[in-house]
Structure 1
Amino acid sequence: MLANSAGVSGLEVCVFDPLQDDLPLEAWQDLSDVAVDPNPFFGPVYLRAYLRHMGPGNVKLLAVRDSLTGRWLMSAPIRIRPAGVLVPVPTLFTTEYGPVGTPLLHPDAGTSHARRFFETAAGKAGILALPHLPLASGAARMLMGLDGADVRVAESHHRACHDGGPDGQAQFDEAFKGKRRKEMKRLLRRLEDEGPVTLETIGEKALPSRFEQFLELEASGWKGRENTALASQSQTAAFARETVTGAARAGRVRIDELRVGETLIASLVLLVDGGHVFAWKIAFDEAFSRFSPGAQLVLHTFQENLAMPEFTLADSLAIPGHSMIEPLWRGRLEIGTLLLAAGPMAAFKTRLCATDLALEQSLRRLARDVRRKVRS
């Protein structure tokens, strides 16, 4: 651990190895529990499981804490990597399995804590990249408001979500009406011809065995054929099992299921954190695709979310334009890559990194187009 206590009185910034044995896990978890913007992917259960099984080895955990009480006030994992293709830059560590880049921010944290976080994370490079960042989050607003920093949103998009309370109910009513409501009910009646239909949420005791069934279902479909299912690789399976087991111990995961008789035909694994629900992984039996099992389950999940005490937001974690979930979850989260720089040539640094990110996006689009042509 490296500690830097200069600056604000009673404040220190620590840089940890997230897997070290003497890490103050309780303080880290306490911050995750009360964070202004819930983010299970920056908490100890998910992050340590991922790094233990998936790597990489150059991730550091930055924590701004009270030097007298040890209370953590702001934290996020960081590594140095190319912003896009060519330009290395300190970057908050996100992955395809956890595409939420919101730093954990304590409700008592203020601008001084955000500044120390930024200055330490940016280091000598004088720039910090925050990918997969919900731009309306409290942490994003605080960082974008830092005096003297050059702020640039390099790329942004919207992904499906839904709200809680009356707004969420209105979104559900809008999504589940008219022709769609008729069609979904008709398909459900047809599905009942195959056997008794059950839509349910799985409790904590049954979670380990039901997650194994999820892994089998996911591997039986197109993800299994493309070798991208969680069970396709031993390390992803181990990481996923450890994540779900740890989250289940704390009551922070649930599995929603659709069954016909004893046959599981759709399963959705959700991480639950601070009134937020994250739709982590979904799978369905392709033999039943004519009944829209994924959509049936997502609508059930919507209703289950609305019934949760203190529920405020569900994040689909889905790619923009997702054909199944976007018509059903009508809210939208703006997600972007935030670039912050300070000091000499700050504006040049953010422009350079933004250009590098744009180049990466262009190359990704080109690769997708090539794959589509090869498949066709």
Structure 2
Amino acid sequence: MSILPAASSFQASNSHEWPAADVDRPIVRMVRHADLTADDRACWAALSAQAGAANIFAQDWFMDAALSHAHDGRDVLLAVVSLGRGPWLGVMPLMAEWRFGRWPAHIWHNWSATNQFLGTPLVAAQSAHIFWDYLLTFLDTRAGGEILLHFDGFDADDPVSMALFDHCRQEGRALHTIQCVDRPAHRAGDDGAGRGDPKTQGRLRSLLRRLERDHGPVAVTLLDPAQPCAPWIDAFLELEASGWKGRAGSALGSDPATEALFRTVIERGHANGSARLASLSTGGHVIAMSSWFESATWGHGFKMAYDEGYRAYAPGQLLMHDVSDRIGRRPDMSFDTCVPRGANHYHRLWHGNRRIIDGAVAIGSRWHRLHFDALIRARAAYAAVKNHFHPPQT
């Protein structure tokens, strides 16, 4: 195996490949987004069509926009595992970083864009073990000093994630779980999607009646795929900026990069048929708007905004209830709300969970792995001391 250059020279190069290209076996390449060829982009699109249903944020059209508009997009390297220079088996955006939380360490970290709510890489499920085998071996043999691969936002039950866990277990490679959280979701085939618990159902019916009584007929409309989406985008950004996010400077329109990403992915998603753009109105006045993406088997929540003047009627929850009803009528569709459990009572509309995991995988030489073990022990000891003096609030 060849040893690749140290991190600084590695980052300065356009692309690195291991092992030498051979049409009969996989290779690993690290390539910048700006250096992708037309053939690369065709392979990326083909892999997205084959393997992108469970994480629409990893598909080429979304990730291309994310990398183009991100402030740090030029620092990202796409780790591509392919059959020679032919079809891609998987791709994972990575960044070299010099800290692991508060701890100084050379690491690789999977990169995600602002407002990207899932980090599972784009990998063909049947090639997942090959992908992790070649990628981790590639990272092991580099001389850049990285001691771990920090991954976050992985779906714990996705075949690609499970292949990573299995590979590490079979190889005896250390894998440390940093965080594991559940967020409201619906799994295809489960009962109860769109119905919510009886108390929530009654509360939402009461709010809907009050809203209609006070302000006029309530309607939910989906933007027709044949209609241009630019007016919807403009209205959404204006609605979001009028609320607390606008006042706090965290609205999409507060940062040109996040606004550009939102506009681009909504435009592309609307054009390719994956974006759903909904508005809830009363008396002809729009008071809540929501966007989400759908693939053949998965839906992913994206962005919602509402008019705070109607807060007492919970317009966001009324609109999300309509979304959950729509998903519930699709027996083949799973849905990830992409919001924390407990946020805005979403858990009362969605009976299932999607488990999201962050973790660290040891890479490098035996010395690097000893360093990894020491770092994990130090983090655990620090957390124990911190919790002793500052117990978490319950």
Q: Is 106-115 or 119-128 further displaced after alignment? A: 119-128
Whether the 8 Å contact between 1:42 and 1:77 is mirrored in structure 2 is no
Residue 283 (structure 1) shift: 0.7
2:208 to 168, 180, 188: 188
Match of 1:148 in 2: 172
Residue 20 (structure 1) shift: 2.8
Residue 78 (structure 1) shift: 0.4
Which string of whole-angstrom CA distances, capped at 9 and with x for unpartnered residues, describes residues 292-333 of structure 1? 11111111101112334741x211111343133122222112
Residue 230 (structure 1) shift: 0.6
Q: Which amino acid aligns with 1:156?
A: C
The 5-angstrom pairing of residues 1-376 of structure 1 reads 1-6=15-20, 9-20=24-35, 22=37, 24-35=40-51, 38-56=54-72, 57-67=74-84, 70-81=86-97, 82-86=99-103, 87-121=105-139, 123-124=142-143, 125-146=146-167, 147-165=171-189, 167=190, 169-173=191-195, 175-177=196-198, 179-193=199-213, 194-204=215-225, 205-308=227-330, 310-311=332-333, 313-342=334-363, 343-345=365-367, 346=369, 348-349=371-372, 352=375
- Provide structure 2 residue ranges, at least 5 long, that are not aligned to the other structure: 1-14, 387-391
Instruction: Give the 3 Å change call, closer, same or farther, for CA 164–108 of structure 1 in structure 2.
Output: closer
Whether the 8 Å contact between 2:107 and 2:147 is mirrored in structure 1 is no
Aligned residue for 1:31, secondary structure, equals helix
Whether the 8 Å contact between 1:61 and 1:75 is mirrored in structure 2 is yes
Distance in 2 between residues matched to 1:212 and 1:315, nearest whole Å: 25
Residue-pair matches, total:
359
Distance in 2 between residues matched to 1:161 and 1:74, nearest whole Å: 26
TM-score by length of 2: 0.83
Distance in 1 between residues matched to 2:296 and 2:138, nearest whole Å: 27
Which string of whole-angstrom CA distances, capped at 9 and with x for unpartnered residues, describes residues 117-149 of structure 1? 223346442421111111111111101111231
- Provide structure 1 residue ranges, at least 5 long, that are not aligned to the other structure: 364-368, 370-376
Whether the 8 Å contact between 2:194 and 2:328 is mirrored in structure 1 is no
TM-score by length of 1: 0.86
Instruction: Give the 3 Å change call, closer, same or farther, for CA 151–347 of structure 1 in structure 2.
Output: farther
Instruction: Report percent identity of matched pairs.
Output: 23
Residue 89 (structure 1) shift: 1.0
Residue 83 (structure 1) shift: 2.4
Whether the 8 Å contact between 2:70 and 2:113 is mirrored in structure 1 is no
Whether the 8 Å contact between 1:230 and 1:240 is mirrored in structure 2 is yes
Q: Is 214-223 or 113-122 further displaced after alignment? A: 113-122
Instruction: Give the 3 Å change call, closer, same or farther, for CA 265–157 of structure 1 in structure 2.
Output: same
Distance in 2 between residues matched to 1:359 and 1:254, nearest whole Å: 45
